[in-house]
Amino acid sequence: MDNRFEQLLKRKIGLDVESVGQVVLERAVRQRIKATASADEHAYWQHLHLSAAEQHALVEAVVVPETWFFRYPESFTVLAKLAQARLKELEHSRPLRIISLPCSTGEEPYSIVMALLDAGFALQSFEVEALDVSERVLEIASEGLYGRNSFRGDNLSFRDRHFSAEGDRYRLDQAVREKVILKCANLLDANLHSPRQPFDFVFCRNLLIYFDRPTQLQALQALKRLLAQGGAMFTGPAETGLFSQNGLQALGVPLSFVFKTAAAGTKPGSGLGFEMQPLAARIRTPMAPLAKIKPAHAQPAVIRPRLSSLSALVEKNAPAAINEVGAQLGEIESLANSGRTLEALQACEALLKTQGPSAGLFYWFGLLSDAAGDSDAAQTYYRKVLYLEPEHIEALSHLAMLLEARGDKAGALRLRQRASRGVNNSDR
């Protein structure tokens, strides 16, 4: 593959292609060659180089959004509490300003609006902007029509309050849609920082993991410029280490991934009206030494977030056990995504005792430790995942992020290369 395509994506949206895999870029280029009826890769490059519209089309072919309403639900609970405190601090002198980027097909910014309305905020008390580099996903967000994949977790009561059914899909109420200003823009654009007031709350989740280290730092500085003094920033679980290492302080609410500008003497959770502790300080999960973990005769790994490597838990001739473990891991995922963090940890502990170690289970221990700010425990768990399943994409990505935050660029690069290209027997 001509590396000019990779360089163009890096220049246009800051994408580190290794983070998504060369195969994703190659597939996208083939799709666009066919769509534009180009004779070959060289002819397509000539067309791409001269067409801004086709550059957007290639970006959209590479960027595959994965989102749903009220993802990380505890973050929206914390948002409502922080927003109440912020309005009081401002003495209601102006509306709160909130931004979501990248907003993808709109589930996150619309969740922000619904969370605030459900918490009793008046429509005029806040403003929400939403940015994405893809015009295609913004069109979907503008339409406000969603399928069942956008609704996950146990608590879907918000759907009854804010949506109306249209066949097998759901239309978001116009009042919610009108509260979000959708814009096509890039975080790395030099002119993104508006001359207007900065934002009280910035949502930028699961984006920086796709950048190389210099671009991550550039993006983080851009995010800091968007954030008002005293505001808060919501990030993704794999990005917490980067934020902690660069002048931001975690509030300590599990699975909320919220940071404020660090200040001397500031206690996590101050101003929220309740005491917050890192999850790892409340429940410590025993960690077996790596040497004691015996991988079973696993089938080739299925690269699937969270629920991969079920066959690493039991012998491949025991389908009933695989189904049982799969159901339990699905329940853990449901608990965590519904904000029932302690129950998710207890379910992990119970599964470890009854079924023993597995890649999918250790991945959840790692993710929950990551959320609690215990990066040492998270690294240990992610390494256990990779011992059992060297091709676990999410564990590779999360561990790479943690290593980069600690300055191990070479180690992070090796992990990203494994994530995008697979591993050989010597790596295993």
Give the single-character DSSP code of 385. H
- What CATH number has the domain spanning 73-261? 3.40.50.150
Burial environment of residue 395 by CB neighbours within 10 A (0 to 12, 13 to 18, 19 or more): buried
137-155: buried (b, 16+ CB within 10 Å) or exposed (e) per residue? bbeebeebebeeebbbbee
pLDDT in tens, the chain (428 residues): 678 888 888 887 777 776 666 777 888 899 999 999 999 999 999 999 888 888 878 877 777 667 899 988 889 999 999 999 999 999 989 999 999 998 999 999 999 999 999 999 999 999 999 999 888 889 999 999 999 989 988 889 999 999 999 999 999 999 999 999 999 888 877 776 655 689 999 999 878 877 777 888 888 999 999 999 889 999 887 677 778 778 888 887 766 788 987 554 444 444 444 444 443 333 333 333 322 223 333 333 332 333 333 333 333 334 555 566 778 888 888 777 666 777 888 888 888 878 777 888 888 888 887 766 677 778 888 888 886 787 788 888 888 888 877 777 777 787 877 776 554 434 33
Sign, Cα dihedral of 20, 380, 306, 368: negative
- What CATH number has the domain spanning 279-421? 1.25.40.10
Q: Quick one: pLDDT at residue 53?
A: 81
Q: Where in the chain is the domain with CATH 3.40.50.150?
A: 73-261
Neighbouring CB atoms inside 10 A of 276's CB total 17
Residue with tokens 């009081």: 88
Q: Give me 181's structure tokens.
A: 């200003």
CA 224 to chain centre: 19
Q: Quick one: pLDDT at residue 200?
A: 95
Please measure the distance between the N-terminal and C-terminal CA atoms of the chain and give it in whole angstroms. 27
pTM of the model: 0.62
Q: How far apart are alpha carbons 25 and 59 in whole angstroms?
A: 10
